[in-house]
Amino acid sequence: MTKSRLTQFAVAALTVVAMVIGFGMGSFPASAKEKIKVGFIGPLSGGTSSNGLGGRNSADLAVRLRNADPKAKYSYELLVQDDECKPNIGVQAATKFGANKNVIAAATHYCSAVAISTVDVYHKFGLPIIVWGAVLPDITYGNTYKEVHRVNGTMINQNETAAKFMRGLGYKTWAIIHDTTDYGKGHDKYFTKNLEANGGKILSRFGVTSDQQDFSAELTKIKSMNPDVLYFGGLTPIGIRIRAQMEKLGVKAQFQGTSGIVSDTFIEGAGPLAEGVVAFREGAPTEKLPGGKFFLEQYAKQGYKDPPEAYGAFAFTAMSLILDTIEAVGPDRKKVRKALNKVSGSNAADSITGKVDFDDHGQNTIAVITKYVVQDSKWTVWEDSAYAAGKRKLKGM
Amino acid sequence: MDIGLFAQYVMNGLMLGMMYALVAVGFTLFFGVMDIINFSHGDVLMVGAFGGLATYLGLTFLGVENPWVQLAAAFAVATSAMALMGALIGKFLVLPLKKAPPLNTLLITLMLGTVLRETIRLFYPRGANPQRFPSLLPTDAYSFGNFTLRVDNMMLLAAGLLAIIGIHLLINRTKLGLAIRAVAQDEDTAKTMGINFTLIVLVTFAIGSGLAAFAGILHGLYYSEVNFGMGLLLGVIGFSSAIVGGLGNIYGAIIGGFLFAALQTLGVLAMPFASAYKDVFAFGVIILIMAWRPTGLISEKISERV
């Protein structure tokens, strides 16, 4: 009896001591600033880990810069989870953050398949998030969740830019070849919509399988209609075949691709025929972004081991926006969610990637899309190319 | 439809049909002598095309720039290498299974096809990506309205037709051809007549596989691109063409090849709104023809099924 009493007493005493010490330690920084937790999820291992690590570092950079700012009301701690670019792991990571009420908001996901499967989790737990890299439209447009936002563009924005740009060059008529996967069909749908809204005309449209070899029948038909531009919504392998076969059949149209062909493989495969091909992609080379120089400088100062990669700047923007919002409305999920949803129109936020203006679905409508043209066997940003300077001409110009 | 456009469709169909016919003839040769289906045939074609490409790259590396020399070397190396490989396939994979159920041969060649495909994908430098095939033929083109006549396409078509005619002459006008036909008709009788059965089988495999390599290079020259997966669908289409024409009959294979190409072209023309289904359309018609003529359009003179 006495022995166990003694033990109980000892335990109680120790607990009190521990609590006193604990509070003491805890209250020391709290006396300066309240510590707020924010989250980051991305693929930190596996095939796309370079993008995930770059995103993680960029989000970390946003937190470090904020903590170094004497005017900040709170002090922030970044919690990091690895989604491995796998939907099931991503859902676990999302649930961890969702269930941890101390996490006020998070910047999440590079992989579309992961992002689309986690949006329900965020909605269920009421955790406001900003997607920093995944491009599938349905992540924002497939639901009405107020928790879900995205700072980077989608194939919708890509095709909007593509249609406006090509119309702006003076092209009038198009033929479309797209593969029949979700990717190709999505491109066909959004390009058609935007092109028609901009007064372009589509003469014919062909769906093809993503492993088709021979396009002579489709291209002969297209040739007889003589469009100004051949729009291709699909990936590199059949993009190469179509470009090569256009030449053999004497199709004179300008070749316009999507993000799916912006790869060195396309140029290797198409050889000299790649010259003058135009394509569009979400995001931009970081140094081309409005605040790209500032971002890269700060990033270099921190001495991270991995480069920021293409989407690092967007992770930085997402995290900065979260921190700005917490600063403004306080560390409360509901308030942060509401405030994020109001980031639109005249209330649009400035960021290193340009303005952030969310629509009803939390999608940034001022998305960065970069126009590319192949010049001397390199994908060159349009504005820097000899084509934009007028030294070379696209077909039919 | 104007004449130029029609001519262009006919030209496209002929090129495609010639390619299918070359593959189908291989299937028919193998079936003729051994009663087997060699499902690795399409992939042998692909390896042949890569062999031709590698030869070209090697010669360029050595400083040989003359396109005709490169072309001749590519054809020579690829066809002889594939002929040798065909003979090896015959000797080590097909002949030992002669007494086994035909399903085993079918399976083993199917698996060999996968091995060939994956080997190129994994071990050819950057083999998972499409590879650019050089234009070694003159690329002059003449336009007649909607019809573009290219010199290289005419040469490819001529080369393909010559190959088919050559095979026809070989089978019907030479002693070797006589022996092949004898083995195809009745193995035991052929043996008693003093024909070396094993040799004839191996030679037939060599001819069929060399023909596949030939077709592979034509394919590469025509499309300016080769990739590790190109043999898969070509194999299936070649096989279907051989079947619909009448397996074991060379004319049947040729007719089948051109028929399939015509159906694919027609599929896009007739249903522009559903061009993704052109293969479905073509294979669908093939199914109907097979239901109508189970032994093919030209059935074997001596049917073994009776």
pLDDT of residue A13: 61
Both A296 and A253 in one domain: the answer is no
B56 — pLDDT class (breaks 50, 70, 90)? very high
Contact across the interface for A217 and B265, Cβ inside 8 Å: yes
Domain-embedded: residue A354: yes
Please write the tens of the pLDDT for every residue from A157-194: 899 999 999 999 999 999 999 998 878 888 999 999 99
Q: How many CB atoms lie within 10 A of CB B274?
A: 14
| Predicted local confidence at residue B301, as pLDDT | 55
Least confident residue range of A109-113, A379-383, B144-148: B144-148
Q: Is A269's CB within 8 Å of B132's CB?
A: yes
* pLDDT of res. A26: 45
In chain A, how many domains are there? 2
Residues near A361 by beta carbon (within 8 Å), at least 6 away in sequence: A140, A141, A143, A144, A148
pLDDT on residue A42: 95
Within-domain flag for A394: no
Q: Is the pLDDT of residue A61 over 60?
A: yes
pTM, two decimals, is: 0.79
Instruction: List, for residues A343-375, the tens digit of each pLDDT value.
Output: 998 889 999 999 999 999 999 988 889 999 999
* Single-letter amino acid code for the residue at A73: K
Statement: residue A312 has pLDDT above 50: yes
Examine the domain organization and report whether A242 and A312 are in the same domain.
Answer: no
Mutate which of A213, A241, A247, A266 to disrupt the B interface (most B C-beta within 10 Å)? A213
Looking at the fold, whether A302 and A230 belong to one and the same domain comes out as: no
Which range scores top for mean pLDDT: A111-115, A344-348, B212-216?
Answer: B212-216
Please give the residue that has the higher pLDDT: either A227 or B248.
A227
Q: What is the mean pLDDT of residues A28-51?
A: 82
Do residues B21 and B163 lie in contact, with contact meaning Cβ atoms separated by under 8 Å? no
A234, A375: one domain: yes
| C-alpha A15 chain-centroid distance | 48
| Domain annotation covers residue A61 | yes
Structure-model confidence comparison of residues A260 and B73, the more confident one: B73
Using CA atoms, how far apart are residues B161 and B136, in angstroms rounded to an integer?
19
A379 & A273 share domain? yes
The reply to whether B215 touches chain A by the CB within 8 Å rule is: no
Tokens of A34: 């309240």
What's the mean pLDDT in A334-346?
A: 94
What is the least distance, in Å, from the CA of B49 to any CA of chain A?
A: 15
Q: Which residues pair with A280 in a beta bridge?
A: A371
Residue A356: inside a domain: yes
Q: What is the pLDDT of residue A12?
A: 64
**DSSP classification of residue B33:** H
- When pLDDT is cut at 50, 70 and 90, the band that residue A17 belongs to is low
Q: Which of A220, A243, A377 to mutate: most B Cβ within 10 Å?
A: A220
The per-residue pLDDT for range B90-126, each reduced to its tens digit, is 999 999 988 888 889 999 999 999 999 999 988 998 8
- C-beta atoms surrounding B303 within 10 Å: 10
- Of the pLDDT bands very low, low, confident and very high (cuts 50, 70, 90), residue B149 is confident
Q: What is the CATH number of the domain that holds A137?
A: 3.40.50.2300
Tell me if A217 and B229 make a contact (CB, 8 A cut-off): no
Classify the phi-psi angles of A38: left when phi > 0, otherwise alpha if psi is within -120 to 50, otherwise beta: beta
Number of helices followed by number of strands (H, E) in chain A: 13, 12
Closest CA to B149 of B288, B296, B11, B22: B11
A139 and A177 part of one domain = no
Is the CB of B225 less than 8 angstroms away from the CB of A208?
no
Q: Do B268 and A249 touch (CB under 8 A)?
A: no
Would the pLDDT of A234 be above 50?
A: yes
The answer to whether residues A379 and A232 belong to one domain is yes
Position B3 scores a pLDDT of 85
Q: Residues A132, A169: one domain?
A: no
Measure in Å the smallest separation between the Cα of A172 and chain B Cα atoms: 21
Which pLDDT score, from 0 to 100, does residue B98 have? 86
Lookup: tokens for A75: 């002090």
**Closest residue, chain B, to A274 (C-alpha):** B132
B47-74 average pLDDT score: 94
Q: What single string gives the DSSP state of each residue in B227-261?
A: -TTHHHHHHHHHHHHHHHH-TT-HHHHHHHHHHHH
Q: Report the pLDDT value the prediction gives residue A11, as an integer from 0 to 100.
A: 62
**Residue-averaged pLDDT of chain B:** 89
Are both A320 and A271 inside the same structural domain? no
Pair of tokens at residue A225 = 């209609």
Domain extent for A317: 34-153+286-366
In a domain, A26, yes or no: no
Nearest CB among B130, B275, B276 relative to A269 is that of B130
Q: Using one digit for the tens of pLDDT, what is the confidence trace for B250-294? A: 889 999 999 999 999 888 887 767 777 888 888 999 999 989 888
Same domain? For A143 and A160 the reply is: no
Model confidence at A77, in pLDDT bands (50, 70, 90)?
very high
Task: Say if residue A317 is in the same domain as residue A214.
Answer: no
Residue with the bigger pLDDT between B64 and A13: it is B64
Cα A381 from Cα A286, distance rounded (Å): 12
Q: What is the pLDDT of residue A331?
A: 95
Q: Give A247→chain B minimum CA distance, Å.
A: 10
Residue A207 lies in a domain: yes
What pLDDT, on a 0 to 100 scale, did the predictor assign at position A28?
47
Biggest CA–CA distance in chain A, Å, is 101
The pLDDT score that the predictor gives to residue B247 is 82
Q: How many CB atoms lie within 10 A of CB A154?
A: 26
User: Which residue in A has a C-alpha nearest to residue B19's C-alpha?
Assistant: A214
CB spacing of B229 vs A208 below 8 angstroms: no
Q: How far is A180 from chain B (nearest CA, A)?
A: 7
Q: Do A220 and B233 touch (CB under 8 A)?
A: no
Q: What is the mean pLDDT of chain A?
A: 90
* CB-based contact B275 A223, cutoff 8 Å: no
pLDDT band for B305, please (50, 70, 90 cuts): very low
> By the 8 A CB rule, do A203 and A371 touch?
no
Residue A15: per-residue pLDDT: 61
Confidence of residue A30 (pLDDT cuts 50, 70, 90): very low
- One domain, residues A317 and A361: yes
Residue A247 located in a structural domain: yes
Q: Assign 3-state DSSP to chain A and report helix, strand, coil percentages, each to 5.
A: 50, 20, 30
Q: Which of A224, A248, A251 to probe the B interface (max B CBs under 10 A)?
A: A248
Is A106 part of any domain? yes
